[in-house]
Structure 1
Amino acid sequence: MKRLLLVLFLMTAFRSFAQLATEGQTNLNMLGTGNYTARTFDDRYRGVKGTVMIVPEFVVGRIYMTDGKMIEYPKMNFDALQNDLIVMRGSNEYVIQKNKVKQFSLWTGIDSLHFNRVSTEHSTYYFYQQLVSGDFQLLKKDTKILKEANQPNPAAVAGRKQDEFVDKATYYIRAHDKLPVEVQSRKSLMKVFPVKYDRELDTYIQEHNLDIKNEQHLIMLLTYLNEIASKH
């Protein structure tokens, strides 16, 4: 009886792995030839603490292509150092061409991270995480900074610290699909908003003691701005 159950288990497992492999190839084919390139590796970051990816492991996600296709992919991630969308099939990683992607999302197991492709003033595409949608969007540019270890004496290997990747977030306001404007100060923030909302926004900021360097506070402010804008 135990032997029979083991055989059934192995047969089921084999079918599941075969199905995943087939689905991975099918989804990769759906991206279209020329829309992705194999990722090559070098040893520049060997031994560096941390990862260039926005989430530690590859996760399930969706890709919305510029040709209207929506592709669900079982293993995706975002390289915040290179600002690249990465998919994995088997042990191989592929970079999806930016000009072919409209937006994509990653499921972290807790919530979804949504990214839009946005053009900058130099007509260069970047992926920004969208925190608030609407006429006034709050965008977050996730990047990774390589922080070198402080090693005043290279010969002192004992207790040597590691280089590491650290997260850096920069926030932008995008009004009516115009070019994104970086949030640098409260003054620069208010310049992006229509003058007619100044009094209401000032009151809201003071009543809730908002700090524009706080992500949740920025989300509150932009959500409120879209609410009052929809009433005018």
Structure 2
Amino acid sequence: MKKNLFIACCLCSAHGLMAQTENANSLIRDVDGRLGVGNYTTSTFDSRYEGIKGSPLFISEWISGQMAFVDGKVFNDMPLKYNAHTKELLMKRPSGDSLIVFPYQVLSFTINDPVTKANFTFKRYPKSQTSKYDMRDVYFLVLYEGKTSLLKLVSKTLKKADFKDPYSNNVRFDTYEDANEYYLLKADGNMVKVKRSKKSVLDVLSDKEVAIKALLEQEKIELKSERELVRVVAKYDAI
């Protein structure tokens, strides 16, 4: 990320939210400004390259949503996107340009998908404890929330084209690929990674291993879907 970004903010919508722009400089920065200037590089054009396939975004279209800030303010009907590759929340202003909302100012945001009618709520957990890395500024998609919460780290990686080497796979385009991870946030604040596998689930929920193992066997849960993982965590909470 370039240091010479232009800091800006306009927490407003087409419905007359122009008055909600106080303390803007600390909230949002200009997306277009991220490109910066200088440090240009050049390369010869290779006609075999076919560009990029896929999208870095959670949902490609601008979708109406809500943002809840750490100071208690809530903004509704905001056009939002979430970049799963850079882990950045984007907001569209009435003027048509896009802005990046600084994560340390946001507690949560919700995207309301008009196609599936589903509401996707993302939250930050700045007080969580994890041995993997610092998660304070990372948004998690909430799949289940209770005494124990099941969270999804929505992520995408960019796989580069591979066609120039004599032993390459002849893939002539870059591709955005899903690289999602799942975490359990327990009542004591510990956040641990969990996979959709019997071994991983039993390891993470080892304090109630006998009951969870019986559940998996009796109900023939194979943990092939997120819905099944949610069922197991909800049952864990209920035991």
The question of a shared fold, defined as TM-score above 0.5 by the shorter chain, is answered with: yes
Alpha-carbon distance in structure 2 between the residues aligned to 1:30 and 1:107: 26
Q: Distance in 1 between matches of 2:23 and 2:235?
A: 38
> 1:1-232 counterparts in 2 under 5 A?
21=14, 23=16, 25-26=18-19, 29=21, 32-40=24-32, 41-42=34-35, 47-89=51-93, 90-109=95-114, 110=116, 111-119=118-126, 121=130, 122-123=133-134, 124-152=136-164, 161-176=172-187, 178-184=189-195, 185-193=197-205, 195=207, 197-228=208-239
2:194, 2:204 within 8 Å by CA — same for their partners in 1?
Answer: no
Give the gaps of 5 or more residues in structure 2.
Answer: 1-11, 42-49
Residue-pair matches, total: 203
| Whole-Å separation in 1 of the counterparts to 2:104 and 2:62 | 22
Q: Supply the AA of the counterpart residue of 1:61.
A: G
Report which of the two has the higher share of helix.
1
Gaps of 5+ in 1: 1-18
**Shift of residue 149 of structure 1?**
2.9
Aligned-partner SS, 2:210:
helix
What's the RMSD between the two structures over aligned residues? 2.9
Residues 64 and 204 of structure 1: is their aligned pair in 2 closer, same or farther, counting only changes over 3 Å? same
CA contact (8 A) 2:13 2:77 kept: no
Question: 1: CA distance between counterparts of 2:16 and 2:29?
Answer: 19
Determine helix, strand or coil for the equivalent of 1:225.
helix
Superposition deviation, residue 31 in structure 1: 7.4
* Greater share of residues in strand: 1
SS in 1 for 2:215: helix
Matched residue type, 2:27: N
Tell me the distance in 1 between the aligned counterparts of 2:72 and 2:54: 35
Secondary structure class of the residue paired with 1:201: helix
TM-score calculated relative to the size of structure 2: 0.74
TM-score, normalized by length of structure 1?
0.76
Distance 1:160 1:206, change over 3 A: closer
- Residues 22 and 217 of structure 1: CA distance in aligned 2, closer, same or farther (over 3 Å): closer
Per the TM alignment, residue 162 of structure 1 is displaced from its structure 2 partner at its CA by 1.9
Q: Is the 8 A contact 1:175 1:192 kept in 2?
A: no
User: SS at 1:118's partner residue?
Assistant: coil
Q: Which segments of structure 1 move beyond 6 Å, counting only runs of 4 or more?
A: none
The residue identity in structure 1 corresponding to 2:193 is E
> Are the equivalent residues in 1 in contact too, given 2:87–2:155 (CA < 8 A)?
yes
Name the counterpart of 2:8: none
Paired position in structure 2 for 1:6: none
Kindly name which structure, 1 or 2, has the bigger radius of gyration based on alpha carbons.
1
